[in-house]
Amino acid sequence: MSKRNIAAIVFFSIVAVFFIFSSLLMHPFGSPDQTDMDDDIINNAQGETGANNAVTSVVFDYRGFDTLGEATILFTAVAGVILVFRRLKK
Amino acid sequence: MIFNIPFIAVAALILIGLYAVVFKRNLIKMVIGITLIESGVNLFLITLGYREGSVAPIYTSSPGGIMSLPVPQALTLTSIVIGVAVLALMLSLVIHIYRHYGTLDARKIGRVEE
Amino acid sequence: MNGMSRIVKTIASIIFPFITIYGLYVIAHGHLTPGGGFQGGAVVASGCAMILVAYGSVWTMGKIKEKNLSLFESLGAICFILLAFLGLGFGAVFFNNFLVGSDFLFGTIPATGSGLADINTGGVLPLMNFAVGLKVIVGLFVIVLVMAYASSVKEGKQ
């Protein structure tokens, strides 16, 4: 085995042990730790935003700035794909 | 009791994707491995926001009871769209590499001329 | 790439309006039921990709120039940012929801607790859903169209 294969196997086994060890030490599935912010959002979302959907009001009203960044990423991806396949016309 | 099975599934997805990135030679298989890692991270974000015996956080014709947390679901929406954008850019670069070198082997491309 | 046979073309043309109407329904009711701009945009983009596969990329590129399509995507992005800046003008905060409680367009507030609500609620949320939905439809369709057309042209000018 070359040195590259030995290094790859050591790296992969370290990461695998870390992931399996930490997935067994997480909090029990079904009881999250801190829920104060989400309880405030669930109780006040209908009165403040006027929408029946709490997830849409979080995406566009309480955290609207992240949606602006995501729209920018989508625009940049489309511009990048068109740029790769452009042929310079003489 | 479910005893943390979704968290073990997340770890399995990420490890399979990491195996495909590190140990495979074909460029398309590496791209598929990156997509698997992104799917594992999205699943992890959703399983963080579940409460025992809860319903969806939507008020239209809701059956009542406690609701699950809406903020991790909003973060997962953004993450899925970012994954699609990065996948499109990676695949177009792979097509460009294949046109230039004629091969898809990761060990044979990108050598600096000596 | 070439198109498929005549049976596939006919069936794709029949199914395409139903897929488009379902996707527009998911976009328009984003503040009442699960869905919204991103999800409905992905549904309509899948319908457009089905038309592209059935008719061939050469025929589709002859009918639609991608320069005209990019205009619609920029229009969607500009509408989204304009709605955010209008919130700055009417309140004092960026992304302010300035249509809730007013009797202009989308102003009513639903009753607290579970129950049905009409589409007239939501404030500035349905307008943002339409802007983001248009952007996602055109963006995903342009990505698939450019990659399908560029991989079918033989390399001659590289």
- Specify the CATH number for B5-53+67-101; select among 1.10.287.610, 2.60.40.1180, 1.10.760.10, 1.10.287.3510: 1.10.287.3510
The band of C7, judged by pLDDT with boundaries at 50, 70 and 90, is very high
Share above pLDDT 90 across residues of chain C, in percent, rounded to a whole number: 50
Of B58, B77, B88, the CB nearest to C38: B77
ipTM: 0.86
Residues of A whose CB is below 8 A from C95: 61, 64-65
CB neighbours of residue C85 within 10 Å:
11
Burial of A10 (0-12, 13-18, 19+ CB in 10 A): exposed
B100: amino acid identity, one letter? H
A12/B74 Cβ within 8 A: no
Question: Distance between CA C106 and CA C99 in Å, rounded?
Answer: 6
B70: which chain A residues are within 8 Å (Cβ-Cβ)? 38, 41-42, 54-55, 58
- How deeply is C93 buried, as exposed, middle or buried, from its count of CB atoms within 10 A (0-12, 13-18, 19+)? exposed
Across the interface, which of B61, B81, B88 has its CB nearest the CB of C114?
A: B61
Mean pLDDT of chain B: 90
Measured CA to CA, the distance from residue C88 to residue C98 in angstroms comes to 9
A50 reaches C (C-beta below 8 A): yes
Contact A56, C125 (CB under 8 A): yes
Contact (CB, 8 A) for B60 and B37: no
What integer pLDDT is reported at residue A88 of this predicted model?
63
Q: How far apart are CA A80 and CA B96, in angstroms?
A: 13
Cβ contacts of B48 on chain A, cutoff 8 Å: 32
Mean pLDDT of the region C7-13: 95
Q: Which of residues 46-85 of A touch B (CB under 8 A)?
A: 46, 52-55, 58-59, 63, 66-67, 70, 73-74, 76-77, 80-81, 84-85
pLDDT band at residue A89 using 50, 70 and 90 as cut-offs: low
- Among B60, B63, B92, the residue with its CB nearest the CB of C33 is B60
**Domain limits of chain C?**
6-150
% pLDDT > 90, chain B: 65
Instruction: State the Cα–Cα distance between residues C98 and B8, nearest whole angstrom.
Output: 45
B62 Cα to chain C: minimum distance (Å): 5
- pLDDT, residue C142, reads 92
Residue C73 forms contact with A (CB below 8 Å): yes
Shortest alpha-carbon distance between residue C90 and chain A (Å): 15
Q: Do C107 and A50 touch (CB under 8 A)?
A: yes
Chain C nearest CA to B20, separation (Å): 25
List CB contacts (< 8 A) between C125 and chain A: 49-51, 56-57, 60-61
Any idea how long chain B is?
114
pLDDT of residue B2: 63
CB B52 within 8 A of CB A31: yes
pLDDT at C114 over 80: no
Q: CA quadruple C51, C57, C62, C65: dihedral positive or negative?
A: positive
pLDDT bracket for residue B114 (50, 70, 90) = low
At B92-113, the pLDDT tens digits run 999 989 888 888 888 888 776 6
Are A54 and B58 an interchain contact pair (Cβ–Cβ within 8 Å)?
A: yes
Q: How does DSSP assign C12-49, residue by residue?
A: HHHHHHHHHHHHHHHHHTTTTSS--HHHHHHHHHHHHH
Average pLDDT over chain A, rounded to whole? Answer: 89
Residue C3 pLDDT? 84
Give the pLDDT score at C75.
92
Question: Any idea what DSSP says for residue B59?
Answer: -
Contact B72, A38 (CB under 8 A): no
What pLDDT, on a 0 to 100 scale, did the predictor assign at position B63? 85
C133 shares contact with chain A (CB less than 8 Å): no
Partners of A54 on chain C (C-beta within 8 Å) are none
B91 vs C143: CA distance, rounded Å: 11
Nearest CA among C92, C102, C16, C105 for reference residue C53: C16
Contacts of C111 (CB under 8 A, 6+ apart): C117
Cα torsion C13, C18, C22, C28: sign: positive
C2 or A22: which carries more pLDDT confidence? A22
The verdict on a CB contact (< 8 Å) between B92 and A30 is no
Instruction: Provide the pLDDT for residue B112.
Output: 66
- B72 has pLDDT over 80: yes
| pLDDT for residue C23 is more than 50 | yes
| Beta pairing partners, C108 | C121
Q: pLDDT (tens digit, 9 = 90+) per residue, C47-93? A: 999 999 999 988 888 888 778 888 999 999 999 999 999 888 887 78
Residues 36-55 of C with CB under 8 A from A: 36
Looking at residue C8, its amino acid is: V
Q: What is the percent of chain A with per-residue pLDDT over 70, rounded to a whole number?
A: 96
Residue boundaries of the structural domains of chain B: 5-53+67-101
Of C24, C28, C2, whose CA–CA distance to C129 is shortest? C28
Question: Does C16 lie at the interface with A, CB-CB under 8 angstroms?
Answer: no
> C18: which residues sit within 8 A by CB, 6+ positions away?
none
Mean pLDDT of chain C: 87
Q: Calculate mean pLDDT across residues B58-67.
A: 87
